[in-house]
Amino acid sequence: MTDLTLMDALRACADGSVVADVGPRPSDLTVRLDRTSDLPAAAAVLIGPHSMTLATVVATDETATPGGDLKIRYVFEPTAPGAPDRFVTLMVSMDAARPEVPSLTTIVPAANWHERESRDLFGIVPIGHPDPRPLVVHDGWPQGVFPLRKAFDGSRRVPVEPANEFPHLVAEGEGVFEIPVGPIHAGIIEPGHFRFTSVGETVLHLDARLFYAHRGLEKRIEGLSPIDAFYVAERICGVCSVAHGLGYCEALEQIAGVDVPPRARLIRSIALELERLYNHVGDIGNICAGAAFHYGTTTGMRLKERLQQMNEQIAGNRFLRGLMVPGGARLDLPDDLLRVLRATLQETLAGLDNLMGRIEANPSVVDRLDDTGVLQHQAALDLAVAGVAARASGVDRDARRDHPHGAFAGPTPPDLHVVTMSEGDAMARMTVRALEARESIRLVDEFVRRIEPGPLQVALAEPLPGGRIGISAIESPRGEAVHWLRTDAGGRIDRYHLRSPSYHNWPAVLLAAETAIVPDFPLVNKSFELCYSCTDR
Amino acid sequence: MLRILINALRTGVVTTRYPAEATVAPGRFRGAPVLLPGSRLPPPAVCPAGALSERFDSGGRHVALDLARCVFCGRCAVDPWEDAVTMGRDFELAARSREDLRIEVVADDPAAPTTRPLPDRDADAVRTSSEIRRVLGRSLHLRHLDAGSCNACDWELAALLNPVYDVRRLGIDFVASPRHADGVVVTGSVTRNLETAVRRTVEAIPEPRVVIAVGACGASGGIVGEGYASAGGVDRVLPVDVYIPGCPPRPEAIIFGILVAVGRLDARRSPRNA
């Protein structure tokens, strides 16, 4: 579809004025809608005839700038495999005294949590949203206090007010039981609350309450220098450190208008694949734990440990923190480390093949995984599910191909085999991981062969240009993460928003769990293996 | 089944001998920064986590590093401060008080010694925790409590149960209920949304109990700090017995910290390594 037909369709559905600009990137489009009431029709055009999906939603408080107000941007992206790399942003302004926007959740289900979050943090009310409950702020948060408004002082703690018990969404009836789980769990895992309603072992409904790990990091980053903010972005999530560090860097480098040298691009992409690899291998081990296959669990742990020890050798940190900086790579990968890298990956490949062989030859494990926790293809599309979970339900999307980054953004990107399956069950998610882990090993090998001598970093001009927006999408181990960054007039961070893959995938876990029995929930959950910390921020 | 047995035999024993034998971290590992007195030390603003501070008196400029806050990013050890700060490889940093994690140097005076209070941690531990040692010394059951971490510290705690670190060989295990625990390892800066759950969980652990803050966020708030959603460290909410610096601390650094907590380090070191 050309921009012309897209713009004609948007104009046709709007009563008010529709103004389009190129941006944030040259391939992107930002459409300003004069009237908030035109938003649902415009969104319907994008998701319908233009087969786009929701990438992220970013609210901003611009009341401090002359003539400013509150703004909300719904950012869409194409879904067709091989579609051009672009984002289309629908932007509306609201009066800060009465910020209201028609909810898109009923036509774009993926907007559900985004709109609840904007309501909690900015006070932007999504009119017609089906769920009035708070999402990010929990019991005792004072009414009418919106922490991401600029007037709010984020450095202070806010008193806890008396509160009623949170209204969980539950099923009711004779013989229906409620099972509360969390936020503190029995294992060494992150915090979240799950409320099952069940009859016997059958799950009737599962409601989740997350954001226990909400640390206020997006507020923390505001006002920082772009370099300082990088160290926060790299620490939003431990097991996505490379992906989020890279996403932040690429958004920042867009604003700075610099090109990262080829050697640094390759090092960053090697790190991204190594992160995927230790995650995927560890996740396969964890899935075995969910299926009570102890040999598989310990083998997965041992292979993951070997990879994390190698991470420490090459980056000085077992989570690969410190390998990159804005502008390039901080540490080089000299030949001796590249040899260590290749040898370790060959060892890992042999170990992984062996582990998968043992799993597939074990009928009691296969029986637990087959048809367990099914995520339907249509549900994966509606919820804009990302990554392994999407590809295991037949959604052919991968940000390395759809929004090229790292070494994939170079002039001759390597071939990428995007693995998809159609079953959508725990078995499919595990199999996709195993195949992707092998693909990561192949890619690292190719990146290593492509490495040539050259500079590691390019300098970023200081201060950075003010009032510019950068947007990037990175394929993290869990799927596409979208970073949105804007500098203030002085070149410091005005607003940063991360939409992690887990943010879109959690609602899918709840759907998939309803196809399983209560005792299988740990297995279903581990087969998605989502992050709480990068959802909650 | 036979294949599994053959694989297990072929793999052999992968378990480390730490802490009975010392471990050397890889060359690139970023452990405790070493500040050289008399050199041009970096200004505090260099540190993204706020771990550096400075004060001036008649002796000149004093630069202090708070290891509890440090995220070991190495930014203070790059050009133009690479001669002033080097990232050391020491990872056995756990201490029983925040003060023990403060390193101060006089920037302008090469002769002035570095003030790093190096308490005899074990002797100290024995003195202050004889009760804990008497009751819990031989076997320690810990509950993990995520108080809003980034999950990195949590993964390293989980790694303690993998075949390489296997802390059960040291009599340490992680249990599912606080009622079964002798102590708690807390990760994260204690978020507002978890504060009540954190207090309740710790109160459910029978006395005497040890509280170990793992990682920069738990020890001091780390890169997260204090804010509308974060208390800024475990000791803002509960008394802490041991602080383990790191972002995250590597698994052996956590083992070290747990042994400091129960004053058991001497007993685990074999004579030739002591």
Residue B231 to residue A315, Cβ atoms within 8 A: no
Of A235, A299, A361, the CB nearest to B150: A235
Q: Are residues A365 and A324 in the same domain?
A: yes
The per-residue pLDDT of chain A, averaged, comes to 94
With a cut of 70, say whether residue B127 has pLDDT above it: no
pLDDT of residue B19: 86
- Interface size between A and B, measured as CB pairs under 8 A: 188
Could you tell me how far CA B82 lies from the centroid of its own chain? 25
B151 in a structural domain = yes
Q: Which of B146, B164, B187 to mutate to test the interface with A (most CBs of A within 10 A)?
A: B146
When pLDDT is cut at 50, 70 and 90, the band that residue A66 belongs to is: confident
Distances (CA, A) of B251 to A52, A321, B14, B214: 44, 16, 15, 11
List the CATH number of the domain containing B267. 3.40.50.12280
ipTM: 0.93
Percent of chain A with pLDDT over 70: 100
Of B71, B73, B162, the CB nearest to A305: B162
Check if B230 contacts A (Cβ < 8 Å): yes
3-class SS letters over A319-374: CCCCCEECCEECCCCCHHHHHHHHHHHHHHHHHHHHHHHHHHCCHHHHHHHCCCCC
Percent of chain B with pLDDT over 70: 84
Q: Which of A26, A458, A55, A481 is closest to A253 using CA atoms?
A: A458
B139 in a structural domain = yes
pLDDT of residue B271: 42
Gap from B177 CA to chain A (nearest CA, Å): 6
Taking every pair of Cα atoms in chain B, the longest distance, rounded to a whole number of angstroms, is 75
Q: Are residues A188 and A225 in the same domain?
A: no
Q: Are residues A197 and A344 in the same domain?
A: no
Distances (CA, A) of A446 to A267, A280, A435: 12, 20, 17
When pLDDT is cut at 50, 70 and 90, the band that residue B128 belongs to is: very low
pLDDT of residue A170: 86
Q: Are residues A186 and A249 in the same domain?
A: no
Q: Which of B203, B193, B138 is closest to B171 using CA atoms?
A: B138
Check if A161 contacts B (Cβ < 8 Å): no
Q: What is the DSSP string of A448-478?
A: HHH--S--SB-PPPSSPPTT-EEEEEEEETT
Of B8, B155, B197, the CB nearest to A183: B197
| Among chain B residues, CA nearest to A217 | B224
Domain range spanning residue A375? 217-536
Gap from A469 CA to chain B (nearest CA, Å): 23
Residues 230-249 of A with CB under 8 A from B: 230-232, 235-239, 241
Q: Are residues A74 and A181 in the same domain?
A: no
Q: Are residues A186 and A319 in the same domain?
A: no
Question: Which residue has 């400029």 as its token pair?
Answer: B61
Check if B192 contacts A (Cβ < 8 Å): yes
Domain boundary among A190, A209, A228: A209
B177 in a structural domain = yes
Of A237, A301, A357, the CB nearest to B150: A237
Q: Do the Cβ atoms of A153 and A64 come closer than 8 Å?
A: no
Q: What is the DSSP string of B177-216?
A: -GGG-SEEEEESS-BGGGHHHHHHHHHTSPSS-EEEEEHH
* Highest mean pLDDT of the ranges A240-254, B35-49, B85-99, B135-149: A240-254
pLDDT of residue B134: 60
pLDDT of residue B115: 60
Residue B230 to residue A216, Cβ atoms within 8 A: yes
Check if A209 contacts B (Cβ < 8 Å): no
pLDDT of residue B117: 53
Check if B155 contacts A (Cβ < 8 Å): yes
Q: Rounded to 5 degrees, what are φ and ψ at B56?
A: -120, 135
Render pLDDT for B54-104 as a digit per residue (tens, 0 to 9). Answer: 988 887 888 899 999 999 999 999 888 888 899 999 999 999 999 889 988
Question: Which residue has 């079953």 as its token pair?
Answer: A423
B127 in a structural domain = yes
Q: How far apart are CA A522 and CA A192, in angstroms?
A: 13
Check if B189 contacts A (Cβ < 8 Å): yes
Q: Do the Cβ atoms of B136 and B207 come closer than 8 Å?
A: no
Q: How far apart are CA B255 and CA B19, in angstroms?
A: 8
Of A219, A236, A357, the CB nearest to B227: A219
B2 in a structural domain = no
Q: Are residues A193 and A266 in the same domain?
A: no
A163 in a structural domain = no
Q: Are residues A425 and A383 in the same domain?
A: yes
Check if A462 contacts B (Cβ < 8 Å): no
A133 in a structural domain = no
Q: How far apart are CA B152 and CA B158, in angstroms?
A: 10
Render pLDDT for A117-139 as a digit per residue (tens, 0 to 9). Answer: 999 999 999 999 999 999 999 99
pLDDT of residue A269: 97
Q: CB count, 10 Å around CB of B27?
A: 9
Render pLDDT for B93-117 as a digit per residue (tens, 0 to 9). Answer: 999 999 889 988 877 666 665 665 5
Render pLDDT for A455-467 as a digit per residue (tens, 0 to 9). Answer: 999 999 889 999 9
Residues 129-148 of B with CB under 8 A from A: 144-146, 148
Contacts of A210 (CB under 8 A, 6+ apart): A192, A193, A506, A532, A535, A536
pLDDT of residue B49: 95
Question: Which residue(s) pair with A75 in the sheet?
Answer: A56, A89
Q: Are residues A186 and A241 in the same domain?
A: no
Q: Are residues A204 and A255 in the same domain?
A: no
Number of domains in chain A: 3
A149 in a structural domain = no
State the DSSP code for A407.
G
SS3 of residue B244 by DSSP = strand
Of B74, B194, B224, the CB nearest to A212: B194
Q: Which of A392, A365, A364, A398 is closest to A377 using CA atoms?
A: A392
Q: How far apart are CA B72 and CA B49, in angstroms?
A: 10
Element (H, E) at A100: strand A100-102
B209 in a structural domain = yes
With a cut of 70, say whether residue B225 has pLDDT above it: yes
Distances (CA, A) of A362 to A356, B79, B228: 10, 55, 50
Compute the CA torsion angle A141, A143, A147, A152 (nearest 10 deg).
Answer: -120
Contacts of A434 (CB under 8 A, 6+ apart): A280, A284, A352, A356
B149 in a structural domain = yes
Residue B48 to residue A184, Cβ atoms within 8 A: no
Gap from A333 CA to chain B (nearest CA, Å): 11
More confident residue, B79 or A256: A256
Check if B1 contacts A (Cβ < 8 Å): no
Distances (CA, A) of A85 to A20, A80, B79: 18, 11, 37
Question: Which residue has 């990037």 as its token pair?
Answer: A472
Of A158, A241, A301, the CB nearest to B228: A158
Of A191, A312, A357, the CB nearest to B29: A312
B57 in a structural domain = no
Q: What is the DSSP string of B107-165?
A: TT-TTSPPB-----HHHHHHHHTHHHHHHHTT-EEEEEEESS--SHHHHHHHHTTSTTT
Render pLDDT for A204-235 as a digit per residue (tens, 0 to 9). Answer: 999 999 999 999 999 999 999 999 999 999 99
Q: Do the Cβ atoms of A476 and A240 come closer than 8 Å?
A: yes
Residue A232 to residue B28, Cβ atoms within 8 A: no
Number of domains in chain B: 1
Q: Rounded to 5 degrees, what are φ and ψ at A15?
A: -80, -35
The per-residue pLDDT of chain B, averaged, comes to 86
Q: Do the Cβ atoms of A261 and A457 come closer than 8 Å?
A: yes
Q: Are residues A79 and A181 in the same domain?
A: no
Scored b (16 or more CB within 10 A) or e, A334-343 reads eeebbeebee
Q: Rounded to 5 degrees, what are φ and ψ at A465?
A: -55, 140
With a cut of 80, say whether residue A284 has pLDDT above it: yes
Q: CB count, 10 Å around CB of A356?
A: 19
Q: Which of A74-78, A164-168, A309-313, B213-217 has the lowest mean pLDDT?
A: A164-168
Gap from B272 CA to chain A (nearest CA, Å): 26
3-class SS letters over A30-54: EEEECCHHHHHHHHHHHHCCCCEEE
A478-482 mean pLDDT: 97
Residue A157 to residue B75, Cβ atoms within 8 A: no
List the CATH number of the domain containing A439. 1.10.645.10
Q: Are residues A189 and A231 in the same domain?
A: no
Residue A239 to residue B151, Cβ atoms within 8 A: yes
With a cut of 70, say whether residue B268 has pLDDT above it: no
Q: How far apart are CA B91 and CA A82, in angstroms?
A: 47
Q: How far apart are CA A414 and CA A420, in angstroms?
A: 19
SS3 of residue A294 by DSSP = helix
Domain range spanning residue B208? 121-273
Gap from A208 CA to chain B (nearest CA, Å): 15
